[in-house]
Amino acid sequence: MGIRRVVTGHTPEGKAIVASDSEVEPAMTALTQGTEFYTIWGADKTPTFPDDGSASPSLAYFPPVDGFRFGLLTVPPQTAASPEITDIAAAQKEMEEKLPGVAGHMEPDNPGMHTTDTIDYEYIISGEIWLKLDDGKEVHLKAGDTVIQNGTRHGWANKGTEPCRMVVCFVGAHRK
């Protein structure tokens, strides 16, 4: 299911226009089994206005410093059937093509746990999910809850019975 994205921009004279009106389809991979990643908008540097509303090149799923990403994330319940992956190399290649750079942030010995150099703003639209942090700490989140991740190591677990959908915004940050 696609998400409608309406983007505005400016004419050369500075008048507001609709630059595009299209659907964004989710990225789904064998390694993320049922999780839908909707990358709706982003840039790798701070925008300058007026502009024509064209998309800026974004090379990686997570942004660099001065970059940002906006999207939706849908995480299926853990009870959802997971297909067996028989060709790991092909699955890793697919993930890199559809979600550039994500695999490099993931912990191979602790599936799902990851750390990024970003501030992440997450708003739960529907369903429920558990935010997993260091030392086994978990926080149960439901529709209407928000999370601000400040470059922390974390992961997600949907222990509920319905998919969890959340709005996500990532802003690139410096790490000392």
pLDDT in tens, 72-112: 999 999 876 667 777 888 888 998 899 989 988 988 888 88
Of residues 79 and 158, more confidence is placed in 158
> What pLDDT, on a 0 to 100 scale, did the predictor assign at position 77?
95
Among residues 26, 64, 20, which one has the least CA distance to residue 42? Answer: 64
Q: Confidence class of residue 143 from pLDDT cuts 50, 70 and 90?
A: very high
Single-letter code of the amino acid located at 129: I
In this structure, the number of other CB atoms found within 10 A of the CB of residue 35 comes to 21
Q: How far apart are CA 87 and CA 56, in angstroms?
A: 34
Q: 127 with 158: CB under 8 angstroms?
A: yes
User: Would you say how long the chain is, in residues?
Assistant: 176
Q: Confidence class of residue 14 from pLDDT cuts 50, 70 and 90?
A: very high
> What pLDDT, on a 0 to 100 scale, did the predictor assign at position 112?
85
> What pLDDT, on a 0 to 100 scale, did the predictor assign at position 26?
96
Q: How far apart are CA 105 and CA 95, in angstroms?
A: 12
Identify the CATH class of 26-172.
mainly beta
Residue with tokens 């912990």: 107
Give the whole-number percent of the chain exceeding pLDDT 90.
73
Domain ranges, ordered by start, for the chain: 26-172
Contacts of 128 (CB under 8 A, 6+ apart): 140, 141, 142, 143, 158, 159, 160, 162, 164
Compute the C-alpha angle 40/44/50, nearest 5°.
80
> What pLDDT, on a 0 to 100 scale, did the predictor assign at position 91?
87
